[in-house]
């Protein structure tokens, strides 16, 4: 029994006759015409209809397959918890638009810092304040006021119990994050603007950098300066410790960066190669060594296990440079930005580095090739700072055993700008 109506069959027969005639199948055309008794009109609506229907069917089949694949992926994603969804996207990279745009500061944003446990982010600003936000919702939480000039840096300790800040008012301040962010300690000792304040691993010491050309180590418990470190000849813009705390690095307006032995505060290597002020220095995480080893020679496998092997510097000369932290050897220059490069972060997957620049963009760099693979128009003004989320989440279970699930850092990135906005980039 035919599924077609009499009219549909008639149209199909005419379309077949038209196809046979148009493609010079004369014998088949004559035989089919004789059997059906039809004499098609070459100007009728079914002219070329068979080819059109056939290509339409192929397109629809492809669309159906694509939709079925997408539907399966969405069903799997919906069945996951939010944390599982985030951790499953191991290779997620930021893209526009930002998930949240958080406004409230009255001047440029100088630094953003993630809480290591909760969905909170702290932003420092030239408006003399620090603001705490919920990055999951984009909602404002509170403002911290005590500094009398621009706040240049903020950093949470490893447990998220304390927040340290520093300012152009020459001070560092310690805030108790477990007690409504009460300001509990002042650190005095620098003779000029303080640029950076960071907790060292273990949380009992803080390192700071200043326009007075020094670095200082501070005792968190009593606020006393443990050591003043000299070496740079100009403003020290940035200081950061290695993951294991054995080293720290500094960047300066004297066009150099330095790597220091944390135990005795002696200079281990001087990184000289930038043509202008060095804005930041960042230790390359161990997870990125494998990709970078495809770009430059790093040595044997044992060497690739130790934190603090490599550092990256950013400069007002518009470049990013990769260095051997132990020898001071320059290994690679990344070029592509059109203005000052402020700082970088490394993707937890170990494959990418993301940079922030005064050209208003973020750039994503493939570490194995050194190429810029994506440029994101991030803000309406200079992008001054960038940070990757510190909290971790469990990935998919291994052989059904939750305790063997790999722990990964969450997928969230934050940027701050002279446009006074903090932006959160997340899946």
**Band of pLDDT at residue 93, cut at 50, 70 and 90:** very high
pLDDT confidence of residue 76: 66
Beta strand ranges found along 290-329 (DSSP E): 310-315, 319-324
How far, in Å, are 312, 326, 331, 351 from residue 368 at the CA level? 15, 21, 13, 7
pLDDT confidence of residue 4: 73
**More confident: 67 or 358:** 358
Strand order in the sheet with 236-241: 236-241, 247-252, 256-261, 266-272
- Indicate the pTM of the whole model: 0.78
Tens digits of residue pLDDT in 336-358? 999 999 999 999 999 999 999 99
pLDDT confidence of residue 395: 56
Own/partner long-range contacts of 242-245 (Cβ < 8 Å, ≥24 apart): 242/283, 242/307, 242/308, 243/201, 243/283, 243/285, 243/286, 243/307, 243/308, 244/201, 244/306, 244/307, 244/308, 245/200, 245/201, 245/202
**More confident: 286 or 73:** 286
Tokens of 283: 């230790």
pLDDT confidence of residue 57: 77
pLDDT confidence of residue 91: 87
The DSSP output letter for 398 is: B
- Asked whether the predicted pLDDT for residue 317 surpasses 90, the reply is yes
3-state secondary structure 320-337: EEEEECCCCCEEEEEECC
**More confident: 113 or 23:** 113
**Band of pLDDT at residue 53, cut at 50, 70 and 90:** confident
Contact 413, 386 (CB under 8 A): yes
pLDDT confidence of residue 239: 98
Contact 167, 153 (CB under 8 A): no
Read off the pLDDT of each residue in 255-280 and give the average, rounded to a whole number.
96
pLDDT confidence of residue 376: 97
CA 329 to chain centre: 27
pLDDT confidence of residue 24: 85
Rg (CA), the chain: 30
- Asked whether the predicted pLDDT for residue 49 surpasses 80, the reply is no
Tens digits of residue pLDDT in 14-29? 778 888 878 888 888 8
- Asked whether the predicted pLDDT for residue 71 surpasses 90, the reply is no
Read off the pLDDT of each residue in 227-238 and give the average, rounded to a whole number.
97
Neighbouring CB atoms inside 10 A of 122's CB total 27
Strand order in the sheet with 139-145: 109-114, 120-125, 129-134, 139-145
Contact 124, 130 (CB under 8 A): yes
pLDDT confidence of residue 414: 98
Contact 103, 379 (CB under 8 A): no
Contact 321, 313 (CB under 8 A): yes
Q: Encode burial over 329-347: b for 16+ CB neighbours within 10 A, e otherwise.
A: eebeebebbeebbbbbbbb
Backbone torsions φ then ψ of 247, nearest 5 degrees = -130, 160
Residue with tokens 């804005």: 279
pLDDT confidence of residue 78: 66
Beta strand ranges found along 316-389 (DSSP E): 319-324, 330-335, 341-346, 352-357, 361-366, 371-377, 383-388
Q: How many CA atoms lie within 13 A of 255 on its CB side?
A: 6
Per-chain mean pLDDT for the chain: 90
Read off the pLDDT of each residue in 39-56 and give the average, rounded to a whole number.
70
* Low-confidence winner among 57-61, 121-125, 252-256, 421-425 (lowest mean pLDDT): 57-61
- Asked whether the predicted pLDDT for residue 73 surpasses 80, the reply is no
Taking each helix axis as running N to C, give the angle between helix 26-36 and helix 6-22, from 0 to 180 degrees, rounded to the nearest 10: 160
**Band of pLDDT at residue 66, cut at 50, 70 and 90:** confident
Residue 263's Cβ-count burial label (10 Å; 0-12, 13-18, 19+) is: exposed
Percent of the chain with pLDDT over 90: 72
Percent of the chain with pLDDT over 70: 91
Element spanning 49, H or E: helix 49-78
Contact 238, 281 (CB under 8 A): yes
Read off the pLDDT of each residue in 406-424 and give the average, rounded to a whole number.
92
Tens digits of residue pLDDT in 197-224? 999 999 999 999 999 999 999 999 999 9
Backbone torsions φ then ψ of 237, nearest 5 degrees = -85, -30
pLDDT confidence of residue 33: 78
């Amino acid at each position: 029994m035919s599924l077609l109506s009499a009219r549909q069959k008639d149209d199909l027969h005419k379309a077949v006759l038209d196809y046979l005639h148009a493609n010079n199948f004369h014998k088949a055309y004559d035989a089919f015409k004789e059997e059906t008794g039809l004499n098609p009109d070459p100007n009728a609506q079914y002219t070329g209809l068979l080819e059109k229907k056939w290509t339409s069917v192929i397109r629809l089949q492809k669309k159906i397959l694509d939709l079925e694949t997408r539907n399966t992926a969405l069903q799997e994603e919906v069945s996951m918890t939010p944390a599982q969804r985030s951790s499953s996207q191991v290779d997620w990279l930021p893209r526009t638009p930002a998930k949240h745009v958080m406004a409230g500061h009255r001047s440029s944003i100088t630094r953003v810092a993630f809480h290591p446990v909760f969905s909170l982010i702290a932003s420092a600003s030239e408006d003399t304040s620090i603001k705490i936000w919920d990055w999951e919702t984009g909602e404002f939480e509170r403002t911290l006021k005590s500094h009398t000039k621009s706040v240049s840096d903020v950093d949470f300790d490893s447990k998220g119990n304390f927040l340290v800040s520093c300012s152009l008012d020459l001070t560092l301040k310690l805030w108790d994050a477990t007690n409504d962010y009460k300001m509990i300690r002042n650190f005095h000792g620098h003779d000029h603007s303080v640029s950076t304040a960071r907790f060292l691993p273990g949380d009992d010491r803080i390192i700071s950098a200043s326009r007075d050309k020094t670095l200082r180590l501070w005792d968190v418990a009593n606020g006393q300066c443990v050591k003043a470190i000299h070496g740079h000849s100009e403003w020290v813009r940035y200081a950061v410790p290695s993951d294991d705390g054995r080293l720290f690095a500094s960047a300066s307006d004297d066009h150099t960066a330095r790597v220091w032995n944390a135990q005795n505060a002696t200079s281990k290597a001087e990184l000289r190669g930038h043509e202008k002020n060095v804005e930041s220095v960042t230790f390359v995480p161990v997870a990125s060594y494998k990709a970078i080893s495809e770009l430059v020679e790093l040595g044997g496998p044992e060497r690739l296990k130790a934190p603090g092997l490599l550092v990256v510097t950013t400069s007002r000369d518009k470049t990013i440079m990769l260095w051997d932290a132990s020898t001071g050897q320059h290994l690679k220059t990344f070029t592509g930005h059109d203005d000052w490069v402020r700082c970088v972060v490394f993707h937890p997957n170990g494959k990418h580095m993301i940079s922030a620049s005064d050209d208003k963009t973020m750039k994503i760099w493939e570490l194995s090739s050194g190429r810029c693979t994506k440029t994101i128009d991030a803000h309406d003004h200079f992008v001054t700072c960038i940070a990757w989320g510190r909290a971790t989440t469990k990935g998919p279970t291994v052989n059904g055993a939750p305790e063997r699930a790999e722990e990964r850092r969450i997928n969230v990135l934050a940027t701050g700008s002279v446009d006074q906005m903090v932006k959160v980039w997340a899946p």
